[in-house]
Amino acid sequence: MADLGIDVVLLSVGADLPWLTGYTAMPLERLTMLVLPVDAPATLVVPHLEAPRVEPVGDLFTIRPWDETDDPVAAVASLVGAAARVAVSDRTWAAFVLRLQEAMPEARWTPASAVTGPLRAVKDPDEVDALARASAAADRVAAQLLAGGIALIGRREAEVSREIADRLRAEGHQAVNFAIVAAGPNSASPHHDAGERVIGPGEAVVCDFGGTLDGYCSDITRTVFTGSPPPAFVEVYEVVQDAQAAGVRAAQAGASAEDVDGASRARIAAAGYGEFFIHRTGHGIGREEHEDPYLVSGNRTLLAPGHAFSIEPGIYLPGQFGVRIEDIVVVGGDGTPRPLNQADHDLAVVEA
C-alpha cells in the first residue's frame, strides 16, 4: 500500500477478504467491509446479525457491528477519515461504491487488486497444498472420464455435465464452479454451455470442469473421442498435446507470463493452426478460478516460486471440432514447473 501511495484498503464481498482474514462476507444488500488503513489498526464493519460468524484472528482487526437502522456507509467513511487514496475490492457492489464515493467526495479510488492481486498470485505452502488437493480430486473425475466410466454416447451434454458435477462433489469438492461438456461441432466453442444436444459416436467431447475444495479451486480439461478418431482429429490432438507440454516446460521461475503463452502458441502456429487458438494460454488460480497472473501476450510479469496457473491451449475448427487440454501448474520452490494434475494426456477413445 505504501509503495502504491494507497492510504486505505476497503474489502467487501469477493476473495480478498477471506484470503486476508478467513472471513467470507455474505453477498447481501447489508454491507460488510474491512477498513484497512496503511498505518492504523483494521476494523471489520459487519451487520450485527452476522457478527457471530466472524472468528477473530488475534488482533488482526476489531469487529464493528452495525444495527439495522445504522448507516454502515457512514461508519466506513468515518473510519476512512481524511484518507486521500482509497483502494476498494474489485467485487464490491456498485451500489455500495457509489454511496461510499458520495460520502467521501475528496477521495481518489483504485481497485484493491492493485494491492492484493500480486500478493494473492504467489501461493504459500499451505495454499499450494490446498490447490494440490483440489486438483487431485478433479483428476480422479478426469480419470473416470478417460477410462470410459462416464457414459457419453446417447446422452445429452447437460446430463453428462450434471454427472461430472456430482462426481466432483463425491470426490470432495464443496462447490462445483462449472462443468463444460461440448460435443461434436459444439466442441469448437471454448465456453460452450452444456445443452440438449445428444452426444453421438465419432465425436470430439471437450470436458472442462472444476470446483472449490477447502477454499481453493480446481480446473481441468480433457478432450476425448467417442469411437475411433479420424486422422484429422488425431493430428490436431497431437498438436495441442505438444503445445500444452511446451507451455508447462516454459513455466520456469524467471520466465515471463507471456513467454509461457508464446511457447504454447508457437507450437500451434508452426502446425498451421495459429488462427484457431482463440484465447490466452492460461490464468492464475487460487481462491478464484480466474485470478493473476494471466498467461497472455503483453503480460511481462516474471514467474516466481508459488505462482499457480492453468496451461490450457486449444484449437477450435468452426463447424467441425475443438480440442483443449488443461492442467494446473505451480512454480515450485526450486523454480521448476510442478503440474498439479496427473490425469493422462494421451488421446482417450471412449466407446460407451
Binding site for Zn ion (CB under 5 A): 208, 219, 221, 310, 326
Residue number with CB closer to Zn ion (34 or 160): 160
When the beta carbons of 7 and 157 are compared against Zn ion, the nearer one is 157
The x, y and z cell numbers of residue 62, run together, are 476489531
Sign of the torsion formed by the C-alpha atoms of 116, 118, 121 and 126: negative
Closest to Zn ion by CB, 64 vs 280, is: 280
Q: How far apart are CA 116 and CA 65, in angstroms?
A: 25
**CB of 93 vs Zn ion, minimal distance in Å:** 25
Residue 114 or 136: the one with the smaller Cβ distance to Zn ion is 136
Least distance from C-beta 258 to Zn ion, angstroms?
17
Class of residue 276 by CB neighbours under 10 A (exposed 0-12, middle 13-18, buried 19+): middle
Query: How many angstroms separate the CA atoms of 51 and 20, rounded?
Result: 17
Return the C-alpha torsion angle 33, 37, 40, 45, nearest 10.
Answer: -10
Residue 32 or 310: which CB sits closer to Zn ion?
310
Q: How far is the CB of 320 from Zn ion (least distance, A)?
A: 20
Q: Which is nearer to Zn ion, 135 or 310 (CB)?
A: 310
Q: Whole-number minimum distance, CB 217 to Zn ion, in Å?
A: 9
Beta strands in the chain (DSSP E): 8-11, 33-37, 42-47, 61-66, 85-88, 108-111, 175-183, 204-213, 216-217, 220-226, 282-284, 291-295, 308-311, 314-317, 321-324, 327-331, 337-339, 348-350
CB of 279 to Zn ion, least distance (A): 7
